[in-house]
Amino acid sequence: MKFTCSKSNLLSGLQIVSKAVPNKTTMSILECILVDATKNDIKLTANDMELGMETTIEGTILEKGIIALDAKMFLDIVRKLPDSEVTIESDNSFKTFIRCEKANFTIIGKSGDDFSYLPEVEKNDQVMISQFTLKELIRQTIFSISDNDNNKMMTGELFDIHDNELKVVSLDGHRISIRKVELKDHYENHRMIIPGKTLNEISKIIPGDADQDVVISFTNNHVLFEFDQTLVVSRLIEGEYFKVEQMLSSDYETKVTVNKRELLDCIDRATLLVKEGDKKPIIINIQDGFMELKINSTLGSMNEEIDVTKQGRDLMIGFNPKFLIDALRVIDDEEVDLYMVNSKAPCFIKNEEESYIYLVLPVNFTTVS
């Protein structure tokens, strides 16, 4: 095998697929990136058996061939090369030569035939969505998945396709995030649970162009994302997702409308007094025309008032400040509406169209004097 390409193209491709290289594995071939120049284009592939990525880069193939190269070493070498044309050449003993200007590296690869190719995903069921919209959906929900593998379902997000609507749901036992968007076309109903790791990696590599689409294809076991020159294939999480609709309610005793930026900045300031790992709640005292926010920790105390529009009863309620910050940060509206029943019931942050709903459970607190 022998081909030439620009360092920037090669580096960009390697940085994309390296996200699917496992950190730990007993199969050394999975620590490699497959370089496939057996056809008319140069493909780079990585696969950890749960998540696989493939991208095509521009270059000139001089001799067709295939080789698997240690991902970390290959990426580190290419990253340090001069910004110039790179030549990659391998022989029958898997010895691989990387040349760029006056820099010459020789590394030992592995047979490409031993590499685990990406699973084939039939493209019978497909949905199209803009790159920008998908990136935003992930950004606005991914923070409330669980990082604890004890409940596998909570480590993924539900993608619920219903006619021309896509609903994305995530939860971790303390909060729920829901985002809904209208799709360009009508589709058959389908529900799938996509691992959070997959969505996190997609959000890092997808350009986010509003004029470019992502094609999402799915079977019972796998989902495939196609955009630009890149394919991302992931296993789905098996099982029935939580019945989130039963956790939602339109009842409220107190509704507060507040400037989002003021509320976010105030909670942010309050967290200056909370040590990392400390679970001090922020206490919100809602009165006519204003909301008082208090926090009391071993480092000190803080209280601040914000002007609000209130409907219903006065209320004092406590929250984990991080959960409120996470939700408020991803809402683009200037003002937000908070709906509450009492100090023990969930708070809902949502707009009238319910294109976003964030549920945050309150926490117990002792009153700060």
Domains, the chain: 2-114 (3.10.150.10), 126-245 (3.10.150.10), 249-360 (3.10.150.10)
Q: Are 362 and 347 in contact (CB under 8 A)?
A: yes
Q: How far apart are the first and last CA of the chain?
A: 74
pLDDT for position 266: 97
What type of residue sits at position 45? T
Least confident of 86-95, 127-136, 257-266, 360-369: 360-369
The token duo for 194 is: 């996509």
10 Å Cβ neighbour count for 57? 21
The token duo for 315 is: 């209320």
10 Å Cβ neighbour count for 119? 15
Q: Each residue of 178-190: pLDDT tens digit?
A: 999 999 999 999 9
What type of residue sits at position 348? F
pTM of the model: 0.94
The token duo for 177 is: 């995030």
Quote the CA–CA distance of 253 and 208 in Å, as a whole number: 40
The mean per-residue pLDDT over the stretch 225-230 comes to 96
Q: Each residue of 323-337: pLDDT tens digit?
A: 999 999 999 999 999
In the block, tokens 């930026």 appear at 261
Quote the CA–CA distance of 285 and 296 in Å, as a whole number: 14
